[in-house]
C-alpha cells in the first residue's frame, strides 16, 4: 500500500473515532448528550446523564445517605461542573419545602452552596450560607461544630466577593471560639488561624498576617512535625510572601468541618 493511501486511511479512522457520539456509562444511551462527571476514576470517559445519576443516588440512599448526590461511589471524589450543580439543584428541589430545621434540608442547602461556590456564584452561595448559619445558631447553638464550620464557609463566600472586613471579623470570632472550645493546638483551630491570615492579606495587613503565620508555624512544627504537609505549606507562605501565596483555594481547604 502506498504511503499516501496509508495516510488517507489513518485520517479516515481518526475522523470516525472523533465522530463517535458520547455515551452515558450508566444507561449506555447517547441522547440527550451526557456530560462530564469530573471524578478521577473514569477520566474523559466519565460521561453520564443527570437523570441516571439521580436514580443512582436514590438507589444508594439506604447505605450512603446523601453522599450519592455529591460524591462518586467508586473513587470517592466529589462531582464537578454541571453534574455537581445539577445533582445539587435536584436534591434541593426535593427538600426545600421541608421545615427549616430539617437535617436533610440543611445538608441539601450545604451541598448546593458548595456547588454554587465552585462555579463562582458567590452571591447565591452567600445567601444559602446565611440561611444555614441562622438555623444552626438557633437550633444547635453558636458553638456547635457544625455552626462553626458554617461560619467559616460563609466567611469564604464573603472574601470571594471582596467583603474582606466582614470576613475578617467572622474569621477572628471563629478563631477565638475554637481556641476556647477546642484548644489552641486543635487542627480546626490551626485552620482558622490560616484563614484569619488570609483575611489580613486580603486587606493589605501583610505584617500582621506574617506575624500570625510565624506563630502558627511554631505550633505546627511542635504538634504536627516539621515535614507535615500543613507545616510545609505555612513555611512556603512565609518564605514566598503571605500576600501572594495564601489564596482562596488554600482558605477553602482549611475551613474545618
Residue 148 lies in a domain: no
Q: What is the pTM of this model?
A: 0.78
51 has a pLDDT exceeding 90: yes
Average pLDDT over residues 145-161: 94
48 has a pLDDT exceeding 70: yes
Query: Containing domain of residue 76, as a range?
Result: 22-99
Cell of 9: 486511511
* Contact assessment for residue 49 and residue 29, using Cβ atoms and an 8 Å cutoff: yes
State residue 247's pLDDT score: 43
State residue 57's pLDDT score: 94
> For the chain, how many structural domains are there in total?
1
129 has a pLDDT exceeding 90: yes
The pLDDT confidence band at residue 128, using thresholds 50, 70 and 90, is very high
Distance separating alpha carbons of residues 148 and 257, to the nearest angstrom = 8
Residue 94 lies in a domain: yes
Distance separating alpha carbons of residues 177 and 193, to the nearest angstrom = 12
Q: Which domain CATH number covers 35?
A: 3.30.40
Residue 9 lies in a domain: no
92 has a pLDDT exceeding 80: yes
The pLDDT confidence band at residue 161, using thresholds 50, 70 and 90, is very high
* Of the candidate ranges 67-81, 90-104, 112-126, 128-142, the one whose mean pLDDT is the lowest: 67-81
Residue 55 lies in a domain: yes
Residue 49 lies in a domain: yes
Residue 125 lies in a domain: no
Residue 66 lies in a domain: yes
Amino acid at each position: 500500500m502506498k504511503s499516501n493511501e496509508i495516510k488517507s486511511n489513518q485520517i479516515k479512522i481518526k475522523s470516525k473515532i472523533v465522530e463517535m457520539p458520547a455515551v452515558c456509562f450508566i444507561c449506555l444511551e447517547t441522547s440527550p448528550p451526557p456530560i462530564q462527571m469530573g471524578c478521577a476514576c473514569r477520566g474523559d470517559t466519565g460521561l453520564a446523564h443527570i437523570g441516571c445519576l439521580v436514580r443512582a443516588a436514590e438507589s444508594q440512599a439506604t447505605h450512603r445517605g446523601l453522599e450519592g448526590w455529591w460524591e462518586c461511589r467508586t473513587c470517592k471524589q466529589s462531582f464537578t461542573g454541571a453534574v455537581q450543580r445539577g445533582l445539587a439543584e435536584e436534591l434541593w428541589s426535593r427538600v426545600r419545602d421541608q421545615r427549616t430545621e430539617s437535617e436533610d434540608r440543611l445538608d441539601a442547602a450545604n451541598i448546593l452552596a458548595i456547588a454554587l461556590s465552585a462555579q463562582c456564584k458567590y452571591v447565591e452561595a452567600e445567601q444559602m450560607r446565611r440561611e444555614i448559619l441562622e438555623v444552626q445558631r438557633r437550633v444547635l447553638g453558636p458553638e456547635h461544630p457544625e455552626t462553626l464550620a458554617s461560619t467559616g464557609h460563609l466567611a469564604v463566600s464573603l472574601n470571594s466577593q471582596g467583603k474582606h472586613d466582614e470576613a475578617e471579623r467572622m474569621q477572628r470570632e471563629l478563631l477565638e471560639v475554637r481556641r476556647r472550645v477546642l484548644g489552641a493546638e486543635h487542627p480546626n483551630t490551626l485552620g482558622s488561624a490560616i484563614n484569619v491570615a488570609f483575611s489580613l492579606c486580603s486587606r493589605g495587613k501583610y505584617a500582621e498576617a506574617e506575624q500570625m503565620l510565624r506563630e502558627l508555624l511554631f505550633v505546627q512544627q511542635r504538634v504536627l512535625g516539621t515535614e507535615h504537609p500543613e507545616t510545609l505549606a505555612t513555611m512556603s507562605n512565609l518564605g514566598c510572601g503571605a500576600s501572594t501565596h495564601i489564596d482562596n483555594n488554600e482558605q477553602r481547604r482549611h475551613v474545618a468541618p
